[in-house]
């Protein structure tokens, strides 16, 4: 039996890739990359500080450019591609998510430690397409992982991954 599945890519270089350059992306760089990814038909392009919305800080590294300006630039050139953000509750807030949504972000990945799905509830209930991200899943037994995944699902996660 063969099961065919659609493969959807979320390109994260404009978020995770910022770690490699000390969070120093410029509007010009984001515009160039997001435009090329949009033209290539990449379905989802993640843009924010490397540690997600609200990550620009002394603790995580100061961004060269305000992430909302980077998000706005990506939205303006990405064509049919969705612009996504990463949110780690406690670093990124609902306020920042609303601001990003107002700029055209349509997807949010909400990442929590695998035992702390409960902190994602308010972040999953904002009407964006949401991906619940249970990090460090290797740290718990399967039963606990399933319990936490069901919590994220009950809060409104459209997709879950570990």
Contacts of 101 (CB under 8 A, 6+ apart): 126, 127, 128
Q: Tell me what pLDDT residue 85 has.
A: 97
pTM of the model: 0.90
Among 162, 140, 130, 136, which residue's Cα sits nearest to residue 149?
A: 162
**pLDDT computed for residue 9 by the predictor:** 85
Confidence at residue 3, expressed as pLDDT on a 0 to 100 scale: 73
3-class SS shares of the chain: helix, strand, coil, % to 5: 40, 20, 40
Would you say residue 144 has pLDDT above 90?
yes
C-alpha distance from residue 127 to each of 118, 131, 156 (Å): 18, 12, 9
Residue 64 designated active-site = no
Residue tagged active-site, from 19, 23, 113, 123: 19
Task: Report the chain's mean pLDDT, rounded to a whole number.
Answer: 94
Percent of the chain surpassing pLDDT 70? 99
Q: Which of 98, 96, 95, 89 is nearest to 119 (CA)?
A: 89
């Amino acid at each position: 039996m063969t099961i065919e599945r659609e493969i959807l890519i979320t390109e994260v270089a404009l978020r995770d890739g910022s770690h490699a350059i000390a969070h120093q992306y410029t509007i010009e760089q984001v515009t160039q990359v997001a435009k090329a990814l949009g033209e290539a038909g990449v379905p989802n392009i993640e843009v924010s500080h490397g540690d997600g919305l609200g990550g620009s800080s002394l603790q995580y590294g100061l961004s060269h450019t305000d992430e909302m300006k980077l998000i706005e630039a990506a939205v303006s050139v990405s064509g049919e591609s969705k612009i996504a953000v990463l949110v780690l509750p406690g670093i990124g807030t609902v306020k920042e998510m609303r601001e990003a949504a107002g700029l055209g972000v349509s997807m949010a990945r909400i990442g929590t430690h695998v035992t702390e799905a409960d902190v994602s509830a308010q972040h999953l209930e904002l009407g964006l397409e949401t991906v619940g991200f249970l990090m460090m899943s290797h740290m718990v037994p399967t039963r606990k992982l399933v319990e936490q995944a069901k919590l994220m699902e009950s809060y409104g996660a459209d997709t879950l991954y570990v």
